[in-house]
């Protein structure tokens, strides 16, 4: 449900360039777009391509199914961009380990960073 809202919102923003550029700061706050992503005339095309290719048309599950090396997915249970259904499916794929970090969001804070470091350390061992 939440993911559908974000997908519709992102599509609308992509289709309404002037509104999105004019209100980029407010929109970024509302949709949890990182502050580092400044939406303006110069960054418009990368912003749109990012929405189209990494969010709206992403093929993560089928991509994961084709990978033949171990994969570690670490995500926060408060991450508004993660998909519970997608995480369940990913956790059932061969060679995929999914770690949910309680109290972590989409942004990498201390808890999430520690979990990622442990996952990397486990892979290197």
Residues 28 and 72 in one domain: no
Q: What pLDDT is recorded for position 76?
A: 94
Number of domains in the chain: 2
Same domain (yes/no): 67, 120:
yes
Res. 4 pLDDT band, cuts 50 70 90: confident
pTM of the model: 0.67
Cα–Cα distance measured from residue 74 to residue 57, given in angstroms and rounded to the nearest whole number:
21
Q: Say yes or no: 48 and 69 in one domain.
A: no
How far apart CA 121 and CA 72 sit, in angstroms, is: 11
Residue 36 pLDDT: 53
Q: Are 29 and 84 in the same domain?
A: no
Q: Give per-residue pLDDT as tens, 81-107.
A: 788 888 999 999 999 999 999 999 888
Range(s) of the domain holding residue 82: 60-124
* Rounded Cα distance, 72 and 20, in Å: 35
Nearest to 122 by CA among 72, 75, 76, 69: 72
Shared-domain flag, residues 64 and 112: yes
What pLDDT, on the 0 to 100 scale, is given for residue 59? 86
Same domain, 30 and 77: no
Give dist(CA 100, CA 32) in Å, integer.
Answer: 20
């Amino acid at each position: 449900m939440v993911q559908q809202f974000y997908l519709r919102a992102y599509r609308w923003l992509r289709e309404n360039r002037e509104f999105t550029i004019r209100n980029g700061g407010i929109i970024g706050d509302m949709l949890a777009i990182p502050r580092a992503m400044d939406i303006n005339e110069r960054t418009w095309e990368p912003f749109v391509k990012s929405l189209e290719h990494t969010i709206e048309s992403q093929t993560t599950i089928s991509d994961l199914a084709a990978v033949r090396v171990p994969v570690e997915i670490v995500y926060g249970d408060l991450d508004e961009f993660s998909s519970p259904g997608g995480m369940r499916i990913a956790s059932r794929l061969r060679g995929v380990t999914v770690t949910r970090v309680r109290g972590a969001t989409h942004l990498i804070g201390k808890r999430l960073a520690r979990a990622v470091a442990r996952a990397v350390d486990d892979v290197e061992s």
